[in-house]
Amino acid sequence: MIDAPEIVRTAKKRNACDGATDIPGGAALGHPRVWLEIDEKGYVDCGYCDRRFVLVGGPADVTAAHPEE
């Protein structure tokens, strides 16, 4: 399995992704806004940009399992 290019830790199960949220004035550089729902796996990947949204404290949150990292 190939790692997601960017991981976003979030406390919300439903998240929006437009591919350019962190780029100032970058709306033209992103993709259409999509709403993504995190399921029982604890994460969801954006179908456009492969950004991975991980639920804080969920089963896929490796940071919670290894807080010293």
- Residues 12-39 have a mean pLDDT of 83
Strand partners, 14: 37
Q: Enter the pTM of the model.
A: 0.77
- The Cβ of residue 51 has, within 10 Å, a number of other Cβ atoms equal to 21
Helix (H) and strand (E) counts in the chain:
1, 5
- Superfamily assignment of 7-65 in CATH? q5lls5 like domains (2.60.260.40)
Separation CA 25–CA 51 (nearest Å):
19
Domain ranges of the chain: 7-65
Condensed to tens digits (0 to 9), the pLDDT of residues 36-57 reads: 999 999 999 999 988 999 999 9
